Structure 1
Amino acid sequence: MITISLCMIVKNEEKILDRCLSCVADLMDEIIIVDTGSDDGTKEIAARYTDKIYDFTWVHDFSAARNYAFSKASKEYIYSVDADELLDEINRERFRILKQELLPEIEIVQMYYTNQLKHGSVYNYDKEYRPKLFKRVRSFTWIDPIHETVRTEPLVFDSEIEIIHEQEESHAARDLEAFRRVCGEGHLSSRLHNLYARELFIAGSEEDVILSGPFFEASCEDTGRSVEEVREAACVAARAARFRGDRLKFHKYAMKAVASNGCAEICLELGYFYMSEEDYHEAVVWFYNAAFESESLLDIRCRGDKPLNGMAECYKRIGMEEQAAEYARMAKEWTAGSCE
C-alpha cells in the first residue's frame, strides 16, 4: 500500500476546512497545512487533524505556496487538496481501493473534478479530469530496445474518483484581480493568456472586461502571439469596446477575429451589438451563426444558451412569438443538458 501526504494551502477557511479534512483525514498518512495569513479560526481547526502547520508569507503566487507545501511532504505520494473539496462515501471507498492497489510505476493520478459550473470562472464542463495525486520522488528509467532514452513523460493513471468542488462563493473577482496584477508585471504565458480570456467571458463583470481591454488590444498587435492567442485577444478587446460604446474599435477587433476563422464568441458579440442597435433581423443572423455555425473558443455557452436566448429575445421584439418560444425552449434544454 502506498503512503500519502495531503498538502493544502489555506487562508481564512474556517467555514469549510473541517468539512474537507473530515472526509479524507483517515485516508492520509500525513497532513501538511500551509497558512498564508489567516485571521480567523483556520489554524485551530487544522490543529485537530495535524501538527504540521506552517506559515507562508503570501507573495501573490499560488505556485510558490503550493511548492512550499510540497517541500514539507515526506510520504511516497502527495495529494493536493483545496479546502472547498470533499469526497462522498462512494469516492472515499474508491480512494481507499486506489491506495491499496496503485502500481508503484504510476507517477500521477487524475481524478474527476465535479460541480464546476456552480460558481464557474474558467470552466466549460461540470466534470473533467485533473491531476490530483503525485509521486513525490520520481524515478527515471531507460526505455526502447534501440536508440534507448530516458522516459521523461510521467505515467498517468485516470481514476474513477470524483471530487466534489463545493465552493461557498465565486472566486472570479479574486482571480481577475490577480490576472491584472500579473499583466502589469510582464508577459502572460500562452496558458495564462487563455485562462484570463476565458475567465473574463465566463465570469467577468462589465468592469472587469473594460479594465482588461488595453492588455488584450496590445496582445492583438503582439507578433509573438499565436494566431489562436490573437483570436482570443480580439474577442475580449471587441467585448470591452462594445461595453465602452466604442463602435470603431468594436468593429476593428470583431473583424480581426472573423478574419482568423471566427468563433462563437465573436458571433455572439456581433449579435449583441446589432440587438442594441435594434436591428433584430441582423442580430438573429449572428446569434444563429454563434449557435449553429461556429465553435466556441473560450466559453461553451457562447454556442449554447446565450445565442439561443438572444434569438428568442429578438423574435419576441419583432412580434414572432412562436419562434421566440421555440428558441427559449431550446435554450432551457441546452442548459439542462450541459449540467448533466
Structure 2
Amino acid sequence: MVTISLCMIVKNEEDVLERCLDSVKDLVDEMNIVDTGSTDRTVEIAKKYTDRVFFFEWTGKFKDARNESFKHATKDYIFYLDADDVLQEEDRQKFKLLKETLDPEVDSVSMYYNAGVDEYGNVTLRYRRNRLLKRSRHFQWQGDVHNYIEVSGHIVNSDISITHLKNRHAVGRNLSIYKRKIKNGDSFTARDYFYYGNELRENGLYLEAIKSYTKAIEMEEGWVEDKIYACIFRADCHRFLGDTEKELSSLLLSLHFSKTPRPEAACRIGYHFQQKREYKPAIFWYELSTELKDDPDKWSFTYPAYSTWYPHLQLCVCYYHIKDFEKSYEHNEKAREYRPNDERILFNKKMLENRLEPVSRSRS
C-alpha cells in the first residue's frame, strides 16, 4: 500500500483547520503544515495533529508557499488541501480504497473539487484537479494567483470529491495581486487574462472584465475551456451593463469553441429570450440544458444548477406565461426535488395547484 504526505499552507485558519484535519487524519501517513504568518491559534491547532509544522515568509505568491510545503513531504505521494476543504464520509471511504489499491506506477490521481455547495447540499461549482501526486516526479506549482500543477505521465481520474466549505471570501485579495503584476510589467498569458477577468467581474468592474475576457478569447494560445467560459462570463458583464445584444453575441460565440452547447450557456440564452417575453425559444434552450449530459472526465468548470433545478424553475415560469399550467407544475416539481424548501418554488406550487384544481374537477 502506498504512503501519503498531506501538505498544506495556512494563515489564520483557526475556525476551520480542525475540521479539515479531522476529516483526513486517518487517511494520510504524514502531515506537513506550512504557516505563512498566522496571528491566531492556527499553529497551536496544527501542532495538536503533527509536529511537522513549518514557517515560511509570505512572498505574495501562492505558488512559492505551496512548493515550499511540497519540499517537506517524505512519503510516496503528496496530497494537498486548503484549510477550508474537507472529505465527506462517502469520499473518505473512496479515498481509503484508493490508497489500498493504487498502482505505484500512477503519477497523479485527479479528484473533483466541489468548490461551492448551496444550503440544500447541491454542488454549485465543480471541476477536476490533480490532487494526489507522486513525490518522486517533483511536480511544481505554477501561477501567482490561480495556481496549477504541471503534471504529466500516467494520470488517473477518480470519482473522489474534495468539498470546499468556505466561511468567508477574501474580497479583492486576488485582484490586488493581478494589479501588482500589471504594475510590475509582467506579461499575461491567456489564462491570466481569463482569471483576471473573473476577479474584475466578481468585484463589479464589468468594463475592465470585458476587456480582459476579450484578450483571453482572441489570443491564439490558451485552453479552449477557458475561452468557452470567457465568452459566457463576458456575456454576464454585458448583461449587467444592460447590453443584451452583445450578451447574446458572446454566448453564441461560446458555441464556436465548445461545438455543442454547455448548460451554462444554454440557460443564459434561454433567459435572454425569456426577458424579451419570447417564451417558445426560451423553452427550447432551457429544455436543452436539462438534456445535456456532463462528461465525468471534464476538467473545466461545471455549474450543476444549470442542468438541474434552475432550468426547471425557469421552465415553470415560461410554461405559465403560455398558459400550459400542467407543464409549469411538472417543472416546478422537478425543481423542488433539488430545493425542497425554496420559497419561490413553494409559492409556485401553491399557486399552480389552485390553478389546476378547477381543471381537474371539470375533467372528472
Same-fold call, TM cutoff 0.5:
yes
- Contact kept in structure 2, 1:85 and 1:163, CA below 8 Å: no
Match runs of 1:173-188 below 5 Å: 177=175, 186-188=187-189
SS at match of 2:33: strand
What is the deviation of 1:238?
1.9
Match runs of 1:18-29 below 5 Å: 18-25=18-25, 28-29=28-29
Instruction: Give the Cα separation in 2 of the matches to 1:136 and 1:259.
Output: 39
Aligned residue number for residue 70 of structure 2:
70
SS at match of 1:133: strand
- Contact kept in structure 2, 1:78 and 1:134, CA below 8 Å: yes
What is the deviation of 1:108?
3.6
Letter in 2 for 1:304: T
Shift in alpha-carbon separation, 1:43–1:219, aligned structure 2, 3 A: same
- Contact kept in structure 2, 1:9 and 1:69, CA below 8 Å: yes
- Contact kept in structure 1, 2:113 and 2:129, CA below 8 Å: no
What is the deviation of 1:241?
0.7
Letter in 1 for 2:71: S
Letter in 1 for 2:211: P
- Contact kept in structure 2, 1:209 and 1:236, CA below 8 Å: no
Q: Does 1:212 align with 2:209?
A: yes
Aligned residue number for residue 126 of structure 2:
123
Instruction: Give the Cα separation in 2 of the matches to 1:26 and 1:61.
Output: 31
1:302 to 303, 306, 313: 306
Aligned residue number for residue 265 of structure 1:
264
Letter in 2 for 1:83: A
Instruction: Give the Cα separation in 2 of the matches to 1:317 and 1:10.
Output: 52
Instruction: Give the Cα separation in 1 of the matches to 2:227 and 2:27.
Output: 46
Deviations 1:110-163 (A, max 9, x none): 5x5576552556416xxxx75443332249xxxxxxxxxxxx954456778x56
SS at match of 2:229: helix
Instruction: Give the Cα separation in 2 of the matches to 1:262 and 1:89.
Output: 35
Percent of aligned pairs sharing the same letter: 31
- Contact kept in structure 2, 1:176 and 1:208, CA below 8 Å: no
SS at match of 1:207: coil
RMSD: 4.4
Q: Does 1:137 align with 2:128?
A: no
Shift in alpha-carbon separation, 1:262–1:59, aligned structure 2, 3 A: farther
Letter in 2 for 1:327: H
Structure 1 unaligned runs (5+)?
Answer: 140-151
SS at match of 2:54: strand
Shift in alpha-carbon separation, 1:290–1:90, aligned structure 2, 3 A: closer
Letter in 1 for 2:282: A
Q: Does 1:320 align with 2:324?
A: yes
Letter in 2 for 1:167: L
Structure 2 unaligned runs (5+)?
Answer: 139-150, 296-300, 341-364
Shift in alpha-carbon separation, 1:3–1:304, aligned structure 2, 3 A: closer
Aligned residue number for residue 354 of structure 2:
none
Shift in alpha-carbon separation, 1:105–1:254, aligned structure 2, 3 A: closer
Q: Does 1:235 align with 2:232?
A: yes
Instruction: Give the Cα separation in 1 of the matches to 2:256 and 2:99.
Output: 51
Letter in 2 for 1:50: T
Instruction: Give the Cα separation in 1 of the matches to 2:26 and 2:289.
Output: 49
Instruction: Give the Cα separation in 2 of the matches to 1:206 and 1:311.
Output: 31
Instruction: Give the Cα separation in 2 of the matches to 1:90 and 1:24.
Output: 12
- Contact kept in structure 1, 2:248 and 2:272, CA below 8 Å: no
> TM-score by structure 2 length?
0.66
Match runs of 1:26-65 below 5 Å: 28-65=28-65
- Contact kept in structure 2, 1:60 and 1:178, CA below 8 Å: no
Aligned residue number for residue 330 of structure 1:
334
Instruction: Give the Cα separation in 2 of the matches to 1:247 and 1:89.
Output: 44
